[in-house]
Structure 1
Amino acid sequence: MIIGIDLTWVKPGKNGGTEFYIRNLLDGFKTLKNVNSYILFVADNNKESFKSYLDDSRFKFSECHVNTEKLVSRVIWKNTQLYRLMKKENIDLAFFPVYDMPLYRCNSFKIVTVIHDLQALHYPEYFTNVEKAVLKASWKRVVKNADKVVGISNYVKNDIEEHYGTKNVVAIHNPIVVKDAFVDFQGLQEKYGIDDNEYYYTVSSLLPHKNLKTILEVKKKIVYDNIALPKKLLISGVGGKQLAEIKRYLDDYKLNDNVILTGFISNEERNTLMKHANAFVFPSVFEGFGMPPIEAMLLGSKVLTTKCTSLEEVTMDRCYYVNDAFNIDDWIGKLKEIKEKEKRTIPFPEYEVKKIAQEYLDLFDSLV
């Protein structure tokens, strides 16, 4: 089977979780010993970042003369040229790792695409009216034109089916790779004024669905009431306009010594902070998949999160949960409960890249 994979949307280092997802999946395809061929449709400004796959003779580039940073010209090119190029490559199946596919259907090959979440339907306030209209139209078109749609969790699958009335959706979880790479914790101790096992850590933003404000209120109560729990919280991921907002909060409540904003940190630093925290807290109430809690458990951290949307599903009851994501006392009660619990690395063989890649290939085989 000749599988064409659209990578013209990838902005190296800028796509967040979706970029990790596709690179992990490509790694999985590479580990599987099969006779499939993989045509990578790459853009002018991202092809170098995928060059390592060319050392496997089953992979080849089909160079698309587009720039991922130039949205309008990329969309025009994709809708006028991509299917033509795919037919020229004689592919059997076109795989779109995000919903960004041409407006019309091509019957020359099978089509599979992925929807990672329907955030604009649940949090429309994040988007302009134009963005909402485009996203809703795109999802509706994708569901109609693709032979199969992949939802990255059962939650997403059910959400798509409920909103678009289709049964043409399958759930395949994300592949996850956590590299066993760390920095010297002593350096982080000195930088942030923390001690081993005496702080909490989270990766978040101030977007409402991330629910970070609840954790800030939890930390405020721990400090103000002198509750016998770690008094420090480290937060990675807050930037831009959100940074000023959270700094005002910390100033107003005199929490600057207790809540530390790390800014951008390397994966090695993040891994180290996860490993040495008393617990990794993840208060989000909306995730299509939610990789950070799983990554933290793979690194040996205790994890306390919510049961909202996909989180209970993808963490597979292997961590600790609050019953009410917005209840401060519920969070504090659970933090007390797990404070002295033993840390241990929790494996997730279900998300190994080879296994997930095989699930995708099984799906592709069922269509071709």
Structure 2
Amino acid sequence: MRIGIDLTFIRPDHTNGGTESVIKNLMKGIERLQMKGEMTDEVLFFIHTSLYKEYRRTFPSLKFKPYKMPGKHALRMILFQTLYLPKLANKEGIDVMFFPTFQTGLNRFDMPVVCDPNDIQFRYYPDNFSKAKWIYYHIFYKSSLKKASRIIYISDYVKGSYEKYYKRYIKDKGVTLYTPIDFRLLSKEQGMTENLKKMIKPGDYILSINSLQKHKNLITLLRAYERYINDFRDKGEIPEKRLILAGARCNSANEIDDFIESHDLTDFVTVTGFLKEEEIAWLYQNASLFITTSTYEGFGMTPVEAMAAKCPVISSTETSLPEATLNMVTYYENAYDDRALYEAIKSELAIKRNTPKEMKAINERREAVESKYNIDKVTADYLRVIREAAGVSDASGVAGDSGVAGIQSDTGVAKKGKNEDEEDLYRGLYRYSRERSEENGKKMPGSEEEFIEYVKSNPETDRQSLKERAIALSGIRNQVGLRKIAKKLPQGVQDKLRRVFS
């Protein structure tokens, strides 16, 4: 089966906030399932040429269909989704389309549509939007919900929101699937990049990672932090912790800049702008405290990532935040009460983190979120819903305990021949080995194509050299290590490996 995924919503300046992070994690999950041989479906990503090279570098094993269209982002997105994508999806043989946002164009598709519309902030905070933008959102949300065969809600809170405002369009369509999160970068110690060295002063800091939007309520955080540093100023001392605000500049950026300058906080507050994933991971890992003051979240990924990085978290109790953080962090009320937040900051910073009790609590929080939002598990759930929308049994696309599933005869796709099937096997082995090596801080010494070429150029009976080559390429020193990797692969792939390596 062929799945089409639309990436036209991504802005070239990466000001999409959490929606882009979510789709990147889903793409990582798809790549991981393909690497492990647990997915037989083809996935094609539709993307604008301005972003194609960047995403191709990030996801070299995924397939993209770049399109070229001039004009500003919003207009070209609507035109492409409405006039061109339905025809292009047909031409590419797409069986089901998945849209990671509410933006699906105004036309209908000949195949089923699955939509993850995210939250409906514009309904709760209409003053944050112009009248024209509010009408635009309302039209496009309604259009997407009406045409969708299945709707994915990123939290139970979001599900309740849609039941309140769009009940007539969502009946029997929806399922709650939490956001897939890639915790690998957070589990490995990151180095400080040159970019961070230029902007981050030495010393301890409090961290907030959010796009600079009004509903993120960062002025309340700045007011609370001002109370905190005034405790030191009154004593003629230098504040122990600085404040770092990391995230793309959006509709509240100028207000934040003005507040920092007018309240003489320039020496103590750093606003980083958009950062790379590795840089964000470093900030999480080295922060003394993470704070989110948001007044509206459909999910709330950043406090969850902070929990996984073993960083203490203070959160508001608004919307989905307690749900996403599993009611396991420190909360303050109400979200706009800077004094209450200030008191929470003082209390959290006073706690000694190296006691057995605290270390246990920190590890329990990390384990809870890593289990709940496991990227492989949640990605497989997304794919299951997408396949169900197309009327295809999930067993034929994502492998379960029984091993790699075959292709259903009713999909109209012929089964692969033996040579092509074996090539996929070795390609999957190489990719899975590469992933394990990277997790252990090692770099694969050869390319995937080099390995496949080596397999093809050696006679099938030359099994010992083949094993040695696979071991060398995967950075594993002995066959025991290779067998450990094989045990983590689906049963069907394990059986094939035994036949080839026996």
Q: The TM-score by the shorter chain falls in which range?
A: 0.7 to 0.9
Query: Unaligned 5+ residue runs, structure 1?
Result: none
The aligned length equals 363
Identify the residue that residue 195 of structure 1 maps to in structure 2. 203
Residues 1:8 and 2:8 are matched in the alignment: yes
**1:154 paired residue among 141, 153, 156:** 156
Contact 2:212 2:250 in 1 (8 A): no
Task: Note closer, same or farther for the CA distance 1:326–1:42 as it changes in structure 2 (3 Å cut).
Answer: closer
Q: Does the residue aligned with 1:115 lie in a helix, a strand or coil?
A: coil
Distance in 2 between residues matched to 1:360 and 1:302, nearest whole Å? 30
1:309 equivalent in alignment to 2:319: yes
In structure 1, the partner of 2:264 is 254
TM-score, scaled to structure 1: 0.86
Residue from 21, 35, 40 that aligns with 2:40: 35
Instruction: Name 1:113's counterpart in structure 2.
Output: 115
Amino acid at match of 1:76: L
Taking a change above 3 Å as real, the CA distance of residues 281 and 113 of structure 1, as seen in their structure-2 partners, is same
Residues 236, 264 of structure 1: 8 Å contact kept: yes
1:19 maps to: 20
User: Quick check: 1:210 aligned with 2:216?
Assistant: yes
Deviates more, 1:26-35 or 1:9-18: 9-18
Q: Pick the structure with more strand per residue.
A: 1
3-state SS in 1 of match to 2:116: strand
CA contact (8 A) 2:284 2:311 kept: yes
Post-superposition Cα deviations, 1:337-358, rounded to whole Å, max 9, x if no partner, equal 3222426451322222211111
Written as runs of structure 1 = structure 2, the 5 A alignment for 1:292-303 is: 292-303=302-313
Shift of the 100–214 alpha-carbon distance from structure 1 to 2, 3 Å rule, reads same
Counterpart in the other structure of 1:128: 130
- Please state if 1:103 is matched with 2:106: yes
Match of 1:78?
81
Tell me what 1:327 maps to. Answer: 337
Correspondence 1:46 to 2:56: no
Matches of 1:235 and 1:282, distance apart in 2:
10
Which deviates the most, 150-159 or 41-50?
41-50
Name the SS for the 1:301 alignment partner: coil
Rounded to whole Å, the distance in 1 between the matches of 2:290 and 2:181 is 18
Task: Give the superposition deviation at 1:277.
Answer: 2.5
- Kindly indicate whether residue 281 of structure 2 is the aligned counterpart of residue 276 of structure 1: no
Deviation at 1:114, TM superposition (A): 1.1
1:282 is displaced (CA, Å) by 0.9
Counterpart in 2 of 1:356? 378
Query: Which residue of the other structure, out of 210, 219, 222, is the alignment partner of 2:225?
Result: 219
TM-score by length of 2: 0.65
Which structure has more helix as a fraction of its residues?
2
Aligned-pair CA distance for 1:316: 0.9
Structure 2 Cα separation of the partners of residues 7 and 188 of structure 1: 29
**Distance in structure 2 (CA, Å) of the matches to 1:364 and 1:189:** 43
5+ long unaligned stretches in structure 2? 354-358, 392-502
- Paired with 2:315 and 2:269, the residues of 1 have a C-alpha distance of 19
Q: Note the aligned Cα RMSD (angstroms).
A: 3.1
Preserved contact between residue 214 and residue 251 of structure 2 (Cα < 8 Å): no
**Conserved 8 A contact 1:112-1:150:** yes
